[in-house]
Chain A
Amino acid sequence: MKPRIAPPELQPATFTFKDTAKVADILSRYPADKKQSAVMPLLDLVMRQMAAEVKEGGGWIPEAAMEEIARICEMPRIKVFEVATFYSMYILAPIGKHHIQCCTTTPCWLRGSADIVKACEEATGCHVGETSQDKLFTISEVECLGACVNAPMVQINDEYYEDLTPERMKEIIAALKAGQDVPKGPQIKRHSSMSAAGPTTLIEEAKKAGAL
């Protein structure tokens, strides 16, 4: 999906990193002459900082931040822009507080992801690609997020919610709306990505790990 880019009237004029220690830490991971390697974690840091700063909704990356990263990483701004528009995890326009990324690739789709998307739309009152009126939710369709064993699944901000049913999806959205905590990972009685019926091999080890 083509990234939405915030219109000029929403773009802040400047952007400064608050957590300068974190910026230094990120830069220290890469050789001094290969600073541009830091572009991805810095873009992520911008989103986290913005999420804490915005009055409503979630974090996004303004153009001023991309210019700041270009300056820090000593790379052309267009190269930062290229990276930011390439990955679906970078958000370039104001977004809901909870970004529901529904996986609709084949394994999830076979396990009913279309119904999950529908459930999200019904529960939030907005369509795929839109943000809800209360600025709490934005729904996106994304490609495979790599949790196919527990399909269907969605990613909301940093967390995975797996083994969903339309009903459970609606409950999750209702809980998030109410500000309650929702258990992450599989939403049925499954440990991690083990078989849903319980372990069939390495049973002793599973017991030791407390999964049985």
Chain B
Amino acid sequence: MPKLKINDIEVEVPAGTSIIQAAEQLGIEIPRFCYHDKLSVPANCRMCLVEVKGGPPKPQASCALACAENMEVFTDSEMVHKARKGVMEFLLINHPLDCPICDQGGECDLQDQAVAYGFDRSRYFEAKRAVKDKELGPLIETNMTRCIQCTRCVRFASEIAGVDDLGLLNRGEDVEIGTYISKAVESELSGNLADVCPVGALLNKPYTFTARPWELRKTDSIDVMDAVGSNIRIDARGNEVMRVLPRLNESVNEEWIADKTRYAYDGLKTQRLDRPYVRDTSGRLRECTWEEAFIYAAGKLKTLQGSEIGALAGDLVDVESTYALRDLMRALGSNTMDCRVDGADLDASEACGYRFNTTIAGLEQADAIVLIGTNPRKEAPIINARIRKAWLTKRTPVYVIGERLELNYPYTYLGAGADALEKLDIKAEKPAIIVGMGALRIDGAAVLALARKKSVVTAEWNGFNVLHTAAGRVGALMVGFAPQAPFSTKGIKAWYLHGVDNAEVFQHVIAKEAFVIYQGHHGDVGAQRADVIFPGAAYTEKAALYVNTEGRVQMARAAVSPVGQAKEDWRIVRAFSEVLNVPLAYNTHADLRKRLSAEIPAFANVGEITPVEWKPFGKEGTISATSFTSAVANYYQTDAISRASVTMANCVESFGAPLKIAAA
């Protein structure tokens, strides 16, 4: 543990800490361009120069110099200022003076640091160089003339995204970022390139020229495009979501988000249900008032027994509305409710049986990872990035049972189906078994029981994991939105569908003559079949709780208000209960949350995972010999929002829908 002084403040840091990190611990900011704390250190921008006593009498790059005993570092001396001014002058020789037309303006590292270290005029009269823009696909806009060759994008692509497509080509003044043969960066994390770029060279393409950072209202929220629960910041202007950015959370998404999380927001602006509808006698959906929709739906339900009414919760539902709907169904005397609309045979009875128990950050401790019927690259790119990190730092072996996958780390293929799982014998102390939705088919209970048997569970390690694909699933299971008795659709004459847009539900579950109430925010599969539509709020429009695949309860905040006459979802259920003469016992969001956390204490623990006991789940039995398949075939279009997104449609066109390769 070397002890050193930075600006005369004494600090003791673990061996191997760089000066820039030590200074950060003291709250001293050192300017930088190439250094990024999640990437390797090339030390090529030279902006972080500091003066070090007890070393050579020249400025040192603080990102690449490890702290040593008795060092004296000065981050603000005359030598440092002179050196940084020199570096800045060199960087600005070729950087264009186009800040007024650059989207990075206002949140640009170079712009900010030029204010501190830049000169107020240029000493150069030579022409600035121009670099041809690169084609990086539908998500990343390039302006390569603005590039300062920090190589963050090159390192991000090869280290985090696992695609070795970018490189630093040529030499000297001709140096530029390029791809081997001009091609789009094929990664589900490519949007992060725009974030790591410290200047306006790589930009968010769909956001181009739409807003300035200082016009935007920033709201911290939670993503629902997959079950990772990535922490996001929603930037809105007026009542329009302008962009989605990642928010640092080391235990979940570090500081990355997947492309669907970042870019599907334009789907929130089209195909929206902005007013209630009822299906009239001619079979057409007709706009109506909330009152009319409620009275019409209630009139129908009142003619039925409780046991003739069923409810389903879709992939994007929040906890509060699911909880309210559960209470409503119970008040009506119905027990037919389920959230496993994709047919995944999860065991709803024990939380340990449907959670990602190892935790996402815990994957880094694993000494073996087994993927069963899942393609994390498409189902949860952020978790895939963690697996890659584990492989990159520790060479953690990865095994695959199911389809052969195109992953960005090497793996050992064990087999296609249950027989490979039966034979699974990993010699490891802390293996993590990850079961995907693709493995939990009709015989999912038996698969779960078998996977449970193969999992290593000790006092400090739980290696059994379920990787969900639906953001609302774990929350709905936690509030008990699942049938007590075996689920049966027999005799159900009316369905309350809460955000259910899974086509297979309408093919197999909902009877042709059944009466359907659809509550949701998009005119997708569910709304087409509905007899009454209650327009709800999308995830950006409501304050709500979500539970990610780990069982981590997280709070989303409303960034904008619901469109048109749409309302927050729990309010719709509450208002409808009044019309049905079974009023629910809460009138405000605060009341609901209070009651919710009184009943299920885990929900009071926002941001955390509440531990659960390791209990038996699943049911041993024979498993069919058919092979497991991945639940997500088309990464870019998995739900009502991403199906309505033009950007996502462009991605499908550019990258092709399936990334899978044929089974050998």
A residues with CB within 8 A of B: 1-3, 63, 76-79, 81-82, 85-88
Contact = CB atoms under 8 A, between A and B. Distances in A.
Contacts of B165: 78
A86 B171 contact: yes
Top 7 closest pairs, chain A to chain B, by CB: A76-B164, A78-B167, A2-B174, A82-B167, A85-B169, A78-B180, A86-B171
Interface string B146-168: 00000000000010000011111
Given A1-B174, A2-B174, A82 B181 contact: no
A76 B170 CA distance: 17
Nearest to B174: A2
Nearest to A76: B164
A3 B165 CA distance: 20
A76 B158 contact: yes
A166 to B, nearest CB: 29
A62 B180 CA distance: 13
A3 B179 contact: no
Given A63-B181, A86-B169, A86-B170, 7 more contacts: A76-B167, A77-B164, A77-B180, A78-B166, A78-B180, A82-B167, A85-B170
B169 A82 contact: yes
Given A63-B181, A78-B179, A78-B180, A2 B158 contact: no
Contacts of A77: 164, 180
A79 B167 contact: yes
Nearest to A143: B172
A33 B188 CA distance: 30
12 contacts: A1-B174, A2-B170, A2-B174, A76-B164, A78-B165, A78-B166, A78-B179, A78-B180, A81-B178, A81-B180, A82-B169, A85-B171
A86 B174 CA distance: 10
Contacts of A1: 174
A86 B167 CA distance: 11
A77 B181 CA distance: 10
A1 to B, nearest CB: 7
Contacts of B167: 76, 78-79, 81-82
A81 B171 CA distance: 12
A76 B154 CA distance: 12
A108 to B, nearest CB: 19
Nearest to B168: A82
Nearest to B158: A76
A3 B170 contact: yes
Nearest to A84: B169
A199 B165 CA distance: 56
Contacts of A82: 167-169
Residue in B167, B170, B178 with the greatest tally of chain A CB atoms within 10 Å = B167
Contacts of A2: 170, 174
User: Which of B158, B164, B169, B170 has the most chain A CB atoms closer than 10 A to its own CB?
Assistant: B169
Contacts of A88: 171
Given A1-B174, A2-B174, A63-B181, A79 B169 contact: no
B410 to A, nearest CB: 12
Contacts of B168: 82
A63 B158 CA distance: 21
A112 B536 CA distance: 81
Nearest to A11: B181
B170 to A, nearest CB: 5
A78 B171 contact: no
Count chain B CB atoms within 10 A of each CB in A3, A77, A82, A88 and give the residue with the most: A82
B169 A81 contact: yes
Interface in B156-205: 158, 164-171, 174, 178-181
A40 to B, nearest CB: 15
A101 B433 CA distance: 60
A133 B178 CA distance: 32
A9 B158 CA distance: 30
A87 B180 CA distance: 17
Nearest to A77: B180
A79 B164 contact: yes
Residue of B158, B171, B179 with most partner-chain A CB within 10 A? B171
Contacts of B181: 63
Nearest to A63: B181
A87 B174 CA distance: 12
Nearest to A80: B180
A89 to B, nearest CB: 12
Nearest to B171: A86
A55 B157 CA distance: 40
B144 to A, nearest CB: 14
A82 B179 CA distance: 10
Of A76, A78, A85, chain B has the most CB atoms within 10 Å of the CB of A78
Contacts of A63: 181
A116 to B, nearest CB: 23
A82 B166 CA distance: 10
A16 B178 CA distance: 26
Interface centre among A63, A81, A88, by most chain B C-beta atoms within 10 angstroms, is A81
A1 B165 CA distance: 24
Contacts of B169: 81-82, 85-86
Contacts of B164: 76-79
A88 B174 CA distance: 12
Contacts of A3: 170
Nearest to A66: B180
Contacts of A85: 169-171
Contacts of B170: 2-3, 85-86
Contacts of A81: 167, 169, 178, 180
A28 to B, nearest CB: 25
A198 B654 CA distance: 70
B178 to A, nearest CB: 8
B184 to A, nearest CB: 14
Contacts of A87: 171
B547 to A, nearest CB: 39
A86 B171 CA distance: 5
A88 B164 CA distance: 24
A39 B299 CA distance: 77
A77 B171 CA distance: 18
Contacts of B166: 78
A10 to B, nearest CB: 14
A55 to B, nearest CB: 26
Contacts of A76: 158, 164, 167
Contacts of A79: 164, 167
A76 B185 CA distance: 14
A162 to B, nearest CB: 25
A66 to B, nearest CB: 8
B396 to A, nearest CB: 18
A85 to B, nearest CB: 5
A82 B178 CA distance: 9
B525 to A, nearest CB: 42
A63 B167 CA distance: 15
Nearest to A78: B167
A205 B311 CA distance: 102
A102 B170 CA distance: 20
A176 B167 CA distance: 39
A79 B178 CA distance: 11
B153 to A, nearest CB: 12
A104 to B, nearest CB: 15
A3 B170 CA distance: 7
Contacts of B179: 78
Nearest to B164: A76
Interface in B50-108: none
Nearest to B179: A78
B131 to A, nearest CB: 11
